[in-house]
Structure 1
Amino acid sequence: MSANNALTPRVFLFRHGETEWAKLGRFTSTTDIALNPTGSAQVSGMAMMLVGPGKLLDPCRLERIFVSPRRRTKQTFELLLGPKSDFAEGKYTYTEDITEWDYGDYEGLKDHEIRILRQERGHDKEKKWDIWTDGCEGGESRHQVEERLDRIIVQIKEIQQPHMHGEKPADVLVVAHGLILRCFTKRWIGLSIINPLPIMLEPGAISVLSVSV
C-alpha cells in the first residue's frame, strides 16, 4: 500500500454506550436518556485502546465530526475525544440528521410490546411488523430516514472528495445510535435501508467505512 492510499479518507461510526433503556431492550429515540455507568466505561475503554496519535482513530487525521444532539451521544463524544480537545475546536457539529430513527408511538416499548400494540390496532394480519418496511406509527418512515441520512452523506463526500488520493488527512467521525448507524452504512454503499444487509453495532462499538479510489 502506498503512502497516499494509506491516507484514503475513512468514516468512523461510533455507537453511544449503554443506557438503562438499551439494557432493557426499550426502543429509544427522542427520549433524552443518559449513559449508565456501564456505557461510560464502554466508551472510556474504547477511547483508551483506539483513540490517539498513531492509533486507529487518530485525532490529527479528523477533518470533521458529526454528533447526534442527544445527551447519550454528547456524553459519548466527550468521553471518546475529550470535551475541550483543541483539535476538535470548530470541527464538530451537532445535527438532527443522525438522530435515532423516530419510533413515534413505540418509544420506550420493547419489541414484543410493539407487536402486541400493533395487533390491538388491527395491523400485521398478513405479515409480521418490520421496521425497515413498515416504519413507526407517529414516527418516521424509511423514506424520511433515508432522506436525512443522504443529506449528511452528501456533506461528508464533499468534505472528502478533494483529498481522495491522500492530499491531506480527511477522516470523518459520526457519533450516533445503533439503528441509524446501520441505516447510514447501507446508504453509504448505495443500498436502500430495506436491503437485508446483516449489520450489528454493540453499545460503545466502532466501525470503519471507506471508498474505492
Structure 2
Amino acid sequence: MSDQDALTPRVIIFRHGETEWAKSGRFTSFTEIELTQAGVAQVFSVAARLVGAGRLLDPRRLVQVFVSPRVRAVKTLELLLSAYPDVVAGKVTYTEDITEWSYGDYEGRKDQEIRLLRKKRGLDQEKEWDIWLDGCEGGESSQQVTERLDKLISQIREMQKPYMCGEKPADVLLVAHGLILRCFVKRWLGLSIDSPLQMILAPGAMAILSYKKNNINEPAIHIGLALPSEEESKF
C-alpha cells in the first residue's frame, strides 16, 4: 500500500453474510432473516484474515460505523468486530439510511417472477423492468434511495474532510445489503443510480472506497489494494 493509500481516509463497505433468501435469489429488504451457518462462517473467515491491527480493516482506524438495523446486518457487524468491542465502543450508528432498497410488493419474490407478474399486468411491453430506473411498486423509487444515500455520503465527507492527509485515522465502515451498497458506490462516485456500472458484491464481501490525491472532491474506488506492511500498520 502506498503512502497516499495509507493516509487517505477510506470507506469500507461490507455486505452481510448469506441468508436463505439471499441464497435462493429472493428480494429481501424489510423482512428479518437470520444468517445461515454458511453466512456466519463467511463473516468469521473475513474477520480472521482481514480484520485487526495493521490489516485491511483496522478497527483502530475507524471513526464511525454505520449499520443497517436489520438483524442480518447487525449480526454481521457483531461477528466481524467481535474481538474489538472496546475499540469501536461509541462509534456505531444504526441507521435506516443504509437499509436495503425497499422492494415493496416485490418482497420475497425472485427476479424472473417479478418480471412475469409485471408483464401479466400489461407492464414493460416495450422494455424490461429495471429496478435501478423503475424502482419497486409499493416500495422505493430510485430518487428516494438517492436522497437517503446522498445524505449519508455528505455526513461521511464532513467527518473525513479535516483528515485528508492523515492528520489522524478517519476510516468509516458500512455494514449493509447487496443492492443498497452497490447504489452507495454509484453515488459515492457521483453517478446516478441507473448508470450502467456493473458490480458484484457477494454475501460476506468487502470493498473499499476512498479519494484520489488526498482530495475530498475526487472520490474513488479501489479496484485493487495491496495489503498493509508491518511498518504501515504503526501510527
Structure-2 residue corresponding to 1:38: 38
- 1:116 correspondence with 2:119: no
Tell me, in whole angstroms, the C-alpha distance in 1 between the residues paired with 2:83 and 2:141: 34
The verdict on how the C-alpha distance between 1:4 and 1:205 changes in structure 2, with shifts beyond 3 A counting, is closer
Residue identity (%) = 66
Tell me, in whole angstroms, the C-alpha distance in 2 between the residues paired with 1:192 and 1:2: 30
Structure 1 contact 20–35 (Cα < 8 Å) conserved: yes
Structure 2 contact 63–172 (Cα < 8 Å) conserved: yes
Structure-1 residue corresponding to 2:102: 102
- 1:164 correspondence with 2:164: yes
Q: Which runs of 5+ in 2 are unaligned?
A: 215-235
The verdict on how the C-alpha distance between 1:91 and 1:125 changes in structure 2, with shifts beyond 3 A counting, is same
Tell me, in whole angstroms, the C-alpha distance in 2 between the residues paired with 1:78 and 1:5: 27
- 1:17 correspondence with 2:17: yes
- 1:189 correspondence with 2:189: yes
Query: How many Å apart are 1:166 and its aligned residue?
Result: 0.5
Query: How many Å apart are 1:83 and its aligned residue?
Result: 8.0
Structure 2 contact 132–194 (Cα < 8 Å) conserved: yes
The verdict on how the C-alpha distance between 1:4 and 1:111 changes in structure 2, with shifts beyond 3 A counting, is closer
Q: How does 1:172-183 map to 2 (within 5 A)?
A: 172-183=172-183
Deviations 1:10-43 (A, max 9, x none): 0000000000001111000010111010100000
- Helix, strand or coil at the partner of 2:161: helix
Structure-2 residue corresponding to 1:207: 207
Query: How many Å apart are 1:195 and its aligned residue?
Result: 0.5
Q: Which moved more, 1:113-122 or 1:155-164?
A: 113-122
Structure-2 residue corresponding to 1:128: 128
Tell me, in whole angstroms, the C-alpha distance in 2 between the residues paired with 1:162 and 1:176: 26
- Helix, strand or coil at the partner of 2:126: coil
Structure-2 residue corresponding to 1:93: 93
Q: What is the aligned residue count?
A: 213
Query: How many Å apart are 1:84 and its aligned residue?
Result: 6.8
Name the TM-score, length of structure 1 as normaliser.
Answer: 0.97
Tell me, in whole angstroms, the C-alpha distance in 1 between the residues paired with 2:2 and 2:125: 57
Tell me, in whole angstroms, the C-alpha distance in 1 between the residues paired with 2:112 and 2:183: 22
Structure 1 contact 14–174 (Cα < 8 Å) conserved: yes
Q: Which runs of 5+ in 1 are unaligned?
A: none
Structure 2 contact 18–38 (Cα < 8 Å) conserved: yes
Q: Which moved more, 1:83-92 or 1:71-80?
A: 83-92
Query: How many Å apart are 1:6 and its aligned residue?
Result: 1.9
Amino acid at match of 1:126: E
Query: How many Å apart are 1:108 and its aligned residue?
Result: 0.1
Name the TM-score, length of structure 2 as normaliser.
Answer: 0.88
- Helix, strand or coil at the partner of 1:76: helix
